Structure 1
Amino acid sequence: MAMLNKDIKFKEELTKFMEAENKDEAITILNDALETKMQKIKEDALEYQQTQDKSILKDRGYRQLTTAEEKWYKGFIEASRSATPEQSFADFINSPEGIMPETVITDIYKDLLEEHPLLTKINFVNAKYMTKWILNDHTLDTAVWGKLNSKITKELTSAFKEVDITQNKLSAFASVPNDMLDLGPTFIDAYVRTIMKDAIACGLEKAIVSGSGLDCPVGLDRDIHKGVSFSTSTGYPQKTEIKVTDFSPKTYGDLISKMAKTEEYTDSNSKKHGGRTRKFGSVLMIVNQIDYLTKVMPATTLLNTNGVYVKDVFPFPTEVAISNEIATGKAILCLPNEYFMAMGGAKEGVIEYSKDFQFLDDATTYKIKTYGNGKCTDNTCSLLLDISELEAAYVYVKGSVESTVKGTVTTKAES
């Protein structure tokens, strides 16, 4: 992966900034992170100016801009250089030429998918500049036999719902030093895209895993059953944990069976809904790095007849995704395709001139905004597990004598 996309330290500092409770501390953290990032881009720009070697740009992750992108960044630079940048930038953004090309947004989400495997597992949609999305609610089968009448038509229509993507806003700040404007569109693009991508990444995975639904998407670990109490201060409650001490076929089969039917509920008219059997061939387990190494790996690693360890062996096809947004001792088991997450942004104001913060001297601060919404189809799409006492793997063989193999695998006899 290109050097520009491997700046792990910048992502870590950005995470610290978003989690900081003290305003002055937050500004100091972001100031240092932005200054380091800008200095690196300036060094690359100087090297390119001296050598005119385009391979430098390609090797370090800089994009070759389209005509529309280059035109937009030139307008961005011109407005920022103005004697009245706030007004000039507002005029630019509100003009037809001021709409950020969709290709910039598309490329940012492409990078996100490559760097964050969890996003490739769920039903993730780049909505670009769409602010609403039509989603199948899975409340009933949409194919029916018989005469088509108004009642059936109404039921078919009710099986779809409109998701408002602008309901939740994710913001970040970018401080651009005035001398950086001289570097040109390619390097400004790299700076803006890096901040947008990493800011979205910092907030997105956390929301998918454990978002409360309060001004943010609803996470996989949240209880969203029909009739659940939604708090205006804390959002949706967490699911009740299911304690799991082993991944034997019986235990694991019982767990997965809890997701095999859609949620069943009765509406205010005493009409029953849901309870339909789902068909799926695999599930996803989300766990943090420490628990994977100390709990899940020992519970799912076996020694085969060739003397080779085989990892992630489950009774039912299961893919494991690492996310450090999950607390130690917990895991999420889910049907990832049943979680919908859409990210987009209004055409106006993806980037705005901002007076909210001033991180650096001789610099202009901009606010970067994206929108998103996400939620499970219903409450049976995911389970919250307590794996704090998960045991190492067992292999069961028929025989009359119980024998023990030292190491990861213990062999028990069954008569």
Structure 2
Amino acid sequence: MTNLDALKQDKIVILQNLQKAAACNDQEGFVQAFNDLAGNIEQSVLADAKELIGETDRAVLAQRGIRMLTSDERNYYQKVAVAMRDKEPRQAIANLDVVMPETIVNAVFEELQANHPLLSKIDFVAATALTKWLTNTNGLQMAIWGELTDEITKELSSGFKETDMTQNKLSAYLPISLAMLDLGPEFLDRYIRAVMMEAFAFGLENGIINGTGKNQPIGMIKQVGENVTVTGGVYPDKEPIKLTRMDNVQLGALTAILATNEKGMDRMVSGLIMIVNPGDYYAKVLPATQFLTNAGVYANTLPYAIEIIPSPLMKKGKAVYGMASRYFMGLGLSEQGKLEYSDEVRFLQDQRVYKIKGYGNGFPKDNNSFLCLDISELQPAVYRVENITPEAVAENAELSDLRIGSLSLTPAFAAETTTYTATTSNATNVISAVPAKASAEVIIKVGEDEIANNTAATWSDGANTVTITVKDGEATKTYTVTVTKNA
């Protein structure tokens, strides 16, 4: 095994330690793991540099992954190196009259998307130099024939959301040794971009999946929408839906939820992803999506195109299922990428530590864009011409979520509570009922009239009785909501 191969293997272990420390909120362990990561990247760059120092053929350098610098980039790194060698690096960096060229920032973002499947699938925007971003949260807009009333105008405009791109801060630390400064601009560029990419990727992926919304993005596992109760800036978790088979029945029921936004508007479903823990990917998801054919090869049983993305930042036994493009994430660098001297984190004594701040924001575009799943009882796919007894799965006729437009339910929704009240002055509201188990059937009635899930109910003046009946095998449960329409 070559030195570079060994470094690659070490890097896998280091990233695992980094993720474990973050999950356990182990600050000391995280600092040590991040220092190991920076050291691993440094050793990789030094190993290449030993072979390529003095090489002038640009084609050879490019083939070895050495990025050719523009004159602005070369000037930037030369001035940075001089400042970092100064006896007073804090003051020298603060007085530096150059900022990181936008081409370097763009290269980091391109590598983020190329090397991380989740970031390549979502609506990821390099928001350099922008402070506001406008997103379409409806996913579907149409022109209207005839007179455009105030009500229709309000409905169309409500699908756009302005996002403050400076709301959340993401810092990447750069431990830089004098040995790295001696290699020259091309190798310093390679090292800085690699450390920035790994640091930002870890923070971004954790925020996209698990972010609380408080000083970080709103994660895919969180509830969003007008009637969500946000406590201290933290968004509540979605209740997981139990998925026991990756077949067209259960996946079809889940995908039907994604096909309607929280306002009851139908939309096309595309770019489906499922994010799972790597351990669950091999132990549960692969057996549930493949079977051995008579020819002795494995065949995929997924009913339609779904990209399975393993992520160590997804908790075991849980998964996220949804449309990747329905998650927005924007990221830019503060002051166009100005480095700062840092003594916040202590690394090795022979290193000086700097940091660069990223600013951004991220969120699901509506509450029906992503579903949280419980895959703890996911069963293997079976293809045999014989009678089999499927493994018993507990029946569950409860809801995991119930919404009537943006109305507030009294009391607040809980799966075990079956009776609610709400008031409205609207003529209609969309009723959305999410079963706790993907195979369960949901029947919604307003009075005696049955309506489809995720469609609008029409209210009469006074009290309207809504019944939501959930059936799973022999189990049945009925929820009742009395909606009072005020004239």
TM-score in terms of structure 1 length? 0.82
The answer to whether the 8 A contact 1:17-1:30 is kept is no
Of 81-90 and 16-25, more deviation after overlay is shown by 16-25
3-state SS of 1:296 partner:
helix
CA deviation vs aligned residue, 1:178-224 (integer Å, no higher than 9, x gap): 34322211111112111100001111111111211111111111111
3-state SS of 1:190 partner:
helix
3-state SS of 2:182 partner:
helix
3-state SS of 1:128 partner:
coil
The answer to whether the 8 A contact 2:102-2:336 is kept is no
3-state SS of 1:332 partner:
strand
Richer in strand (by share)? 2
Q: 1:102 to 1:189 in 2, by over 3 A?
A: same
The answer to whether the 8 A contact 1:131-1:346 is kept is no
3-state SS of 1:374 partner:
strand
3-state SS of 2:218 partner:
coil
Distance 1:25 1:112 in 2: 24
Distance 1:28 1:291 in 2: 28
Cα drift, residue 15 of structure 1: 4.2
Q: Name the amino acid aligned to 1:261.
A: T
Richer in helix (by share)? 1
3-state SS of 1:113 partner:
helix
Partner of 2:281: 292
What is the root-mean-square deviation of aligned Cα atoms in Å?
3.1
Q: Name the amino acid aligned to 2:129.
A: Y
The answer to whether the 8 A contact 2:288-2:380 is kept is yes
Instruction: Identify which of structures 1 and 2 has the higher relative contact order when contacts are C-alpha pairs closer than 8 Å and 6+ apart.
Output: 1
Cα drift, residue 403 of structure 1: 3.4
Cα drift, residue 113 of structure 1: 1.6
**Equivalences, count:** 384
The correspondence of residues 230-245 of structure 1 with structure 2, limited to 5 A, is 230-232=230-232, 235-245=234-244
The answer to whether the 8 A contact 1:285-1:319 is kept is yes
Partner of 1:410: none
Distance 1:24 1:389 in 2: 36
The correspondence of residues 127-276 of structure 1 with structure 2, limited to 5 A, is 127-138=127-138, 141-147=141-147, 156-232=156-232, 235-263=234-262, 274-276=263-265
The correspondence of residues 220-369 of structure 1 with structure 2, limited to 5 A, is 220-232=220-232, 235-263=234-262, 274-281=263-270, 283-304=272-293, 306-311=295-300, 313-369=301-357
Q: 1:390 to 1:28 in 2, by over 3 A?
A: closer
Distance 1:24 1:296 in 2: 34
Q: Name the amino acid aligned to 1:222.
A: K
TM-score in terms of structure 2 length? 0.70
Of 214-223 and 78-87, more deviation after overlay is shown by 78-87
Pair 1:110-2:110 in alignment: yes
Q: 1:30 to 1:294 in 2, by over 3 A?
A: closer
The answer to whether the 8 A contact 2:18-2:34 is kept is yes
Cα drift, residue 10 of structure 1: 5.1
Pair 1:374-2:362 in alignment: yes
The answer to whether the 8 A contact 1:166-1:371 is kept is yes
CA deviation vs aligned residue, 1:358-408 (integer Å, no higher than 9, x gap): 4233432211211221111111111111111122224598xxxx5359xxx
Q: Name the amino acid aligned to 1:345.
A: L
Distance 1:365 1:56 in 2: 32
The answer to whether the 8 A contact 2:18-2:30 is kept is no
Unaligned runs of 5+ in 2: 390-487
Cα drift, residue 76 of structure 1: 0.9
Distance 1:287 1:126 in 2: 26
Q: 1:184 to 1:223 in 2, by over 3 A?
A: same
